[in-house]
Amino acid sequence: MKEDQNIKSQEVNDISDELYERFSITVDKGQEPLRIDKFLMSRIERATRNKLQQALNTGMVLVNGKEVRPNYKVKAQDEIILYSDVSPEDLAVVPEKIPLNIVYEDEELMVINKPAGMVVHPGSGNYSGTLLNGIAWYLQNENPAITEDNLPRFGLVHRIDKNTSGLLVLAKTPRSMSQLAKQFYDHSVRRQYVALVWGDLRKDEGTIKAHVGRHQRFRKQFEAYPEGDYGKEAITHYKVLERFGYVTTVACILETGRTHQIRVHMKYIGHPLFNDEYYGGDKIVKGTVFAKYKQFVENCFAICPRQALHAKTLGFVHPATGKEIFFNSELPDDMNEVIEKWRKYSSHKQIQ
């Protein structure tokens, strides 16, 4: 990478739920005219001509705010933005017949309500049974022209955790892939989650600002870094929906989309998600450990055997129509049932 170029890579990599990064490049004053694909090949590490051509042809490269084609010649002081797929693994997606809860579908995109327990895409230790395996089967049967060559990570622009339920959007065309990736990166997509967290939050609403990055010791976990010395910027807005004394139902709106962001942020302010085994929510955090209460909590854990988190709403601008569309999903049965149990328990107990 040459020093005479101002290149900034704003990565989401493995600490974000979005699957794209953005490179921002200011062309040097002394740059001679050069095809943009050749220019980017020489400036971006691990770039391949095929991926750059694909990015250019699908509108993932902007010069001075406008899409350009591979034959565009860069000139001095051009401002270049490249959105690049940073999927950690390039694994074949084998079509599998898996039931899908398709909330909405048209020629451009699909919105799916993912159940808890389903991994979004194949990866280390999860090569089958994922959402994309089911999407691959569905799309191939809907359109025989789709082959295994264009199935890997087909249409995926964001993801949610395996044990988080809720709404996901997938692109079906290059145009939608490009437009949706940009909306997620620019944080213009509207997303609201509902979570059951331990404790009685002091404020009815608030904002949590703390960088999120991998835990320095436990690499499968993430950590909040409030001083911003590590990780990536992360902002979560929350609002109390219902209080049960020992636990609280909250709505969380993401301004950024880091991996485990809500789980990490709620732990950071002392209110880990109910039954979140990674972040301390799978034990009694609030309340005395007397026999009947302990049994009640364990029964609740059995009803909702995962972190109590649901991606409830999703809103974005439709890539083809330019109009905003909005989707809302009901809480799944496990969360509804455990919330109802806490509602009844709190109404009969004196919360201390």
Q: Indicate which CATH number applies to the domain containing 80.
A: 3.10.290.10
Q: Is residue 153 part of a domain?
A: yes
pTM score of the predicted model: 0.79
pLDDT digits (tens, 9 = 90+) for 214-257: 887 776 789 999 988 888 899 999 999 999 999 999 999 998 88
Reported as a single tens digit per residue, the pLDDT across 8-46 is 444 333 445 666 666 788 888 888 888 988 888 887 766
Instruction: Tell me whether residue 94 is in a domain.
Output: no
| Same domain (yes/no): 178, 33 | no
Report in angstroms the alpha-carbon separations of 304 from 161, 290, 339.
Answer: 15, 21, 10
Residue 254 pairs in a beta bridge with 236
Q: In terms of domains, do 301 and 318 share one? A: yes
3-state secondary structure of 300: helix
Residue 192, pLDDT score: 96
Q: Is the pLDDT of residue 150 over 60?
A: no
- Provide the residue range defining the domain that includes 61: 6-85
Q: Are the C-beta atoms of 277 and 162 separated by less than 8 Å?
A: no
Model pLDDT for residues 75-88, shown as the tens digit of each residue: 888 988 887 665 54
Q: Are the C-beta atoms of residues 271 and 198 closer than 8 Å to each other?
A: yes
The CA distance from 292 to 313, in Å, is: 36
- Is the pLDDT at 60 greater than 70, yes or no? yes
**HEC per residue, 244-279:** CCCEEEEEEEECCCCCCHHHHHHHHCCCCECCCCCC
- The CA-based angle 106-318-176, given to 5 degrees, is 75
37, 78, 161, 276: which one is catalytic?
161
Residues 6+ apart with CB under 8 A from 278: 220, 221, 260, 263, 307
How buried is residue 321: exposed, middle or buried, by Cβ count under 10 Å (0-12/13-18/19+)? exposed
Report helix, strand or coil for 191: strand
Report how many domains make up the chain: 3
282 a catalytic residue = no
Residue 299 and residue 222 in one domain: yes
Tokens describing residue 20: 């794209």
